[in-house]
A and B are shown apart, each in its own frame.
Chain A
Amino acid sequence: MNGYDFSFAGAQFTARPTGALWWPAQNTLIVADLHLGKSARMARRGGGLLPPFEAQDTLHRLAQDVGATGAAQTILLGDTFDDDDAAGDVTAGPHWQRLQDMTQLVSISGNHDPAHGAPDVTLAGIALRHQAALHGAPDISGHFHPKFKLAGRGYAAFLVGRDHLILPAFGTYTGGLDANSPVLTGLVGPGLAILTGRVARAVPYGAVRPAARGNA
């Protein structure tokens, strides 16, 4: 597996190229922002009828990650459902059921699905929540859907700072926010961006580019 290993808040993690975070010591897989049921929500609102396969696709990819890691539990960091109404349809479906048979699913609530799950969970001294809390460090969260641009193309990315670890959105129908937008650089501070794709690739993030080298 072409993952990228790193440490955060004293624990060892693997950023998987799929956008899932693997925490071997806890036998736990963490994903954020699945936004299941997004197409149905748009249809209800009278918009275009998007291909209704995003829940199936997202859950299928998640099952692959669970299968590959053998994770005993999988923590969903909020915005798992595009709205609370969508949850019923999805959780009753075969793809969700199959996932439940493979791993213990732990839901954390997000702004899209406030009624689904606890606001946070703490594991080995690290808080897991939907949106990073300024005074709750260290924490692992989602919400922002960070994307990092390299060689002309944007890649969904993990952002790893000293206090905050932010996951890319895992859902199929999700866009992204530029990792270099001030809201993210200000929150995460200098660290690493780990790009998803065929392989997970780490690049420096948020740091001021070193001024002319050899100038010391």
Chain B
Amino acid sequence: MTLPPPVQDWFAAQGWQPHPHQIALAGTDCDTLLIAPTGGGKTLAGFLRSLCDLQQPYTGLHTLYVSPLKALTHDIARNLARPVAGLGLDIRVEDRTGDTTATTRARQRVDPPHILLTTPESLALMLSYPEAPRIFGTLRRVVIDEIHALAESKRGDQLMLGLSRLRSLAPALTVTGLSATVENPAALAAFMGGAQVLHADPGPTPDIAMLPVTTPPPWSGAGGHYAARDVMRAIEDARMTLVFINTRAQAELFYQALWEVNDTNLPIGLHHSSLSRDVRARAEAAMAAGQLRAMVCTGSLDLGIDWGDVDLVLQVGAPKNVKRLVQRIGRANHQYNTPSRARIVPTNRFEVLECVAALQAVQDGRLDGDPRPAGGLDVLCQHILLMACAGPFCPDTLFQEITRAGPYAAVTRAEFDACVEFCATGGYALRAYDRWQRLVLRGGLWQLRDPRAARDIRMNIGTITASETLKVRRKGRGGMPLGEVDEGFAASLTPGDTFLIGGQTVRYDTLRDMVVEVTLQPARQPKIAVFGGLKMSTSTLLSDRVLALIGDPAQWGALPAATAQWLRLQADISQLPKPGTLTCETYSRGGRAYFCLYGFAGYNAHQTLGLLLTRRMEGAGLGPLGFVATDYAVLVWSLDAVTNPAPLLDPHGLRDGLADWLAENAVMKRSFRAVATIAGLIQRNLPGKRKTGKQATFSSDILYDTLRKYDPDHLLLRITHDQAAHGLVDFGRIEQMLRDRPQIVHTTCARVTPLAAPLMLEAGRVPIRGLGHERLLDEEAARMLADAGLA
């Protein structure tokens, strides 16, 4: 294929040479997955064919672009303006996101633009309108940007269902997926419903190393403040630096730490998803205009605009998986043909190990990644309800359609029917709603019983169910927040309660203007834990590499001296975890017995292991009070000490009762809430639409408990269990751990061991409400009565 002369001329006028993959993509009518590094002109490649086609007059919507980020749609609109003007095309390019005004949306439904830029959620909404066939019937191209990122979540499930619908509405459609480097392109192509894979030239091998630092990292914490001066020096030496930090709160704090050592007042910006849209937009504009020397950011900049001038990427904190690290490194190539330069900054001693292991994996060319689970049935339920909003549907036709979506290719008719049944009647064993079904079957077509329900269903659109969070700030101090807590957690606090956040114990004082005000209480034991929720686990590949590194002193030459010294100390005082052995320790501190197990099975598996261990400890009368999980270990504290870990870790029967025990647990209840919200059982809490009259509302936990008691086989419980088994529970990795490392090595130590010390300071503790907790509650109630002179 050669590009049409006007397009060739436009490239020439820019002084550009089209990349081979751009030309290839413009010439194909096959669905294609393009794998290309950042800076490879990926987005232009996606639109090139549309720009060629639209030189001829066209009526209606021609190209739909879907991006995971609203911000990206704004930028694409701006970036497309140049070639559109340069080619003299008489077309309209518009974006359509949650920020689009109601009048613009209404107009777009009547008179769609030629190119529409949107997000998966807005697409789902548009597909739920009765006009959808007319709007999308003319569609020729769909471009899905950052498809590797979308595929990692339920947003990808939703988008692929939407894509199936688009393929039905516009059979002539060609779909292009744009992706960063992934470990398994074929799987991603299958996710798209089948596509040819096109690889762009990956460019030169990246230059990646640890950032040299003047002081060793601290024992625990995740701030990276110790390295602020070293990072500052690296920024000074580079033209434009992206500083990636793993969490928002840490990004805030690190940003502040950087400014404290920014002696020459270099312009440094901050970007994360808790900042308001205006603030983020200003930061992005400053960066695009070349006004910044560095940007401190979170995953919010994992995706997005090709920052042309970035020549250094700094990763502060453990990368968790090698693939993400490689993708981030890829953001530093101001020129396509020069190597990306990246430096890693571990924030504590454990992370040093992970960073070294990750560097070795990158050098070995090893990418990690787990197979994607099948599409969530909760998302399918939402899709079914939205399709009913668009108009009556035939179940046979819809089933055919959804099985053409990659993630739902293996859905059985029985599963689909169960989802329809859930949408229609609630799907309960007790048929209580025959008169009040949500969907009714008339003449072989399912439709809404009450068309007015469409409004509520549309309000509930989307698969992102992160609960609302409130900032935590020191009372009367102003300044940067210490972090954020879940709204539900904040609501449970009573003035005087102490809890742990960001590794510090604080006392809750008041809730003011949606900010939790606290006072630091460094000397006190926290009374309540902040539950961390689901985190990204360190990948199996990386965990195994870290364990191998710790267990083999011959490899310690690759480690900084302080880290090697720390491991030597551990070897002297206790034991080193090694491949093939399961190392655990017992010690006591502050009147509590601690049991630490170095599982190296990742955060989620350790979270589950914590639940299983405490369950067995409860059975053994040890009075477990809580545990904390990290990617490497799980630490349990109890009233009485573990003396023999073997029965606690006996694989036999470990899984028995797992379901019951987990079912009682906050982790599962949280998971259920997400499933129930997505599936449309409960209405999501919309910002700005606060519930009034608290008596009227009750928590989804009650629904969960009721279902478990009276309808344990209900669809939503099955979905909750399935999903937990993949992510949250990760039982497979526990079993693998017990299988691969059969030898238990248990050491009883007089005090906290070097390896366990960082865990003592870890946030995200999970309380166990067993008999130990009842004992503490009694003490607390008695103390209050005594204080009040009542006992």
Chain A residues in the interface with B (C-beta under 8 A): 39-40, 43-44, 46-54, 56-57, 144-145, 149-154, 169, 172-178, 180, 192, 195, 198-199, 201-204, 207, 209-210, 213
Contact = CB atoms under 8 A, between A and B. Distances in A.
B419 to A, nearest CB: 13
Interface stretch (B81-89, B276-284, B676-684): B676-684
A195 B781 CA distance: 10
B681 A149 contact: no
Contact of B787 (A40, A50, A152, A209): A209
A102 B632 CA distance: 57
Nearest to B710: A53
Interface in B516-538: 527-528
B426 interface: yes
B131 interface: no
B3 to A, nearest CB: 53
A192 B784 CA distance: 11
Interface string B571-607: 0000000000000000000000000000000000000
B58 interface: no
Contact of B430 (A46, A52, A150, A152): A52
A149 B430 contact: no
A151 B776 CA distance: 9
Contacts of A53: 428, 430, 706-707, 709-711
B784 A47 contact: no
Contacts of B683: 47-48
Contact of A57 (B527, B697, B709, B784): B709
Contacts of B711: 51, 53
Nearest to A52: B432
B246 interface: no
B694 A52 contact: no
Interface string B651-682: 00000000000000000000000000000111
A150 B780 contact: yes
Given A46-B456, A145-B694, 12 more contacts: A46-B449, A49-B428, A51-B714, A52-B430, A53-B709, A57-B710, A150-B777, A153-B492, A175-B699, A177-B695, A203-B784, A210-B789
Interface of A is mostly: loop
A148 B704 CA distance: 22
Contact of A52 (B428, B776, B778, B789): B428
A169 B426 CA distance: 26
Contacts of B781: 150, 195, 201-203
Contacts of B699: 175
Given A149-B492, A152-B527, A154-B492, A49 B433 contact: yes
Contacts of A198: 774
A39 to B, nearest CB: 7
Contact of B696 (A51, A175, A195, A199): A175
B694 A176 contact: yes
10 contacts: A46-B453, A48-B682, A49-B436, A50-B681, A51-B426, A149-B494, A152-B499, A169-B695, A175-B699, A209-B788
B710 A56 contact: yes
Nearest to B767: A152
B698 interface: yes
A153 B702 CA distance: 15
B690 interface: no
B725 interface: no
A199 B778 CA distance: 10
Contacts of B696: 175
Sort A-B residue pairs by CB-CB distance and give the 6 closest, nearest first.
A49-B426, A52-B432, A204-B788, A152-B528, A175-B698, A43-B436
A207 B788 CA distance: 8
Contact size class for B? 35 or more
B681 A48 contact: yes
Interface string B684-720: 0000000000111111001100110111001000000
A51 B784 contact: no
Contacts of B155: none
A145 to B, nearest CB: 4
A154 B681 CA distance: 24
B96 interface: no
B438 interface: yes
A152 to B, nearest CB: 4
Contacts of A201: 777-778, 781
A174 B776 CA distance: 27
Contact of A175 (B456, B694, B776, B777): B694
B765 to A, nearest CB: 12
A1 to B, nearest CB: 16
B788 to A, nearest CB: 4
Nearest to A180: B494
A46 B695 contact: no
Contacts of A144: 695
A57 B709 CA distance: 9
B516 to A, nearest CB: 13
Given A46-B450, A204-B784, A152 B694 contact: no
B102 interface: no
Interface string B441-468: 0000000011011001000000000000
A74 B276 CA distance: 55
Contacts of B707: 51, 53
A117 B15 CA distance: 86
B238 interface: no
A203 B785 contact: yes
Contacts of A195: 781
B790 interface: yes
Contact of B433 (A43, A145, A199): A43
B257 interface: no
Interface string B422-435: 00011010101100
B491 to A, nearest CB: 8
Contacts of A44: 436
Contacts of A153: 492
B111 interface: no
Nearest to B682: A48
A176 B702 CA distance: 12
B183 interface: no
Interface string B481-512: 00000000000111001010000000000000
Nearest to A39: B432
Contacts of A56: 710
B785 A152 contact: no
B499 A173 contact: no
A176 B699 CA distance: 10
B787 A210 contact: yes
A120 B781 CA distance: 34
Contacts of A174: 695, 698
Nearest to B676: A48
A61 to B, nearest CB: 11
B785 A51 contact: no
B452 A52 contact: no
B778 to A, nearest CB: 7
A50 B683 CA distance: 11
B714 A52 contact: no
